[in-house]
Amino acid sequence: MLQTRCCLRRKNDFASSSLLVALLAIAACASSFVTPALAGGLGRERRCPPVPTVSDVSIEAYASKPWYVQAQLPNRYQPVENLFCVRAVYTVTSPTTLDVFNFARKGSVEGEPSNEDMVLNAFIPDVDVKSKLKVGPKFVPRALYGDYWIVAYEEEEGWAIISGGQPTIFVSDGLCTTESGNQGLWLFTREKEVSEELVETMKKKANALGIDTSMLVTVQQTGCEYP
């Protein structure tokens, strides 16, 4: 009887050991499918603090004059080779909708116009948060529109900072950026040409909000002519 119990105990110990080895092997195999990019992505949103938007904004005032882009992140529809003479003009069409006219030139300030004939649509999903808009082509369902957040806005000083939604990619020093594609970051000014000091002021403001500005591309405005 003692020998039988001993044998059973050995069999149980062997089975437990075999199960443990199998579980460890499965875990090791599963971990091999987590690439560095995926592993980084798992912690991105946790490391990026929520970015606030402007609490009180008059869309009528915001859209009253053209905005000139001084620096921005390139994206799918605004690649780096098209970042010359970038300007945005807005027309309020209702209390919650606007027409958006973007203009840019390809290759140089004398290059061919880019997106000259495309009119975009912007709308405010929540009237209580007018600084969070959605923007997209009119022929595309609104569910596919991209985020357009006014995260800083000083009408008297003539500048605004626009983020393509909540930044989710950690860069460094507690600063984050948005995903590549149709999102981005834009530094707007009312004047076509401004001082470097003003641009630096906007960058510091973006940094204070937790937004990285190290990958911004300067948009040349000197020598630009607009239709």
Are residues 94 and 9 part of one domain? no
Whole-number pLDDT of residue 43: 40
Are residues 185 and 130 part of one domain? yes
Whole-number pLDDT of residue 27: 35
Token code pair at residue 212: 């990285």
Instruction: Give pTM, 2 decimals.
Output: 0.79
Are residues 206 and 105 part of one domain? yes
Residue 18 lies in a domain: yes
How many C-beta atoms surround the C-beta of residue 196 within 10 A? Answer: 9
Residue 137 lies in a domain: yes
Task: Let me know: does 71 contact 217? Beta carbons within 8 Å.
Answer: yes
Work out how many domains the chain is built from and give that number.
2
Predicted confidence pLDDT, tens digits, the chain (227 residues): 434 444 444 445 444 444 333 333 333 333 333 322 333 443 444 579 999 999 999 999 999 999 999 999 999 889 999 999 999 999 999 999 999 999 999 999 999 999 777 899 999 999 999 999 999 999 999 999 999 999 999 999 999 999 999 999 999 999 999 987 668 999 999 999 999 999 999 999 999 999 999 999 999 999 999 98
How many C-beta atoms surround the C-beta of residue 221 within 10 A? Answer: 19
Residue 117 lies in a domain: yes
Determine the structural domain holding residue 149 and report its residue range. Answer: 59-218
Are residues 149 and 96 part of one domain? yes
Residue 92 lies in a domain: yes
Whole-number pLDDT of residue 66: 99
Whole-number pLDDT of residue 118: 82
Are residues 82 and 14 part of one domain? no
Cβ within 8 Å of residue 167, ≥6 positions away: 48, 51, 176, 177, 178, 210, 211, 212
Q: Which amino acid is at 182?
A: N
Q: Which amino acid is at 33?
A: F
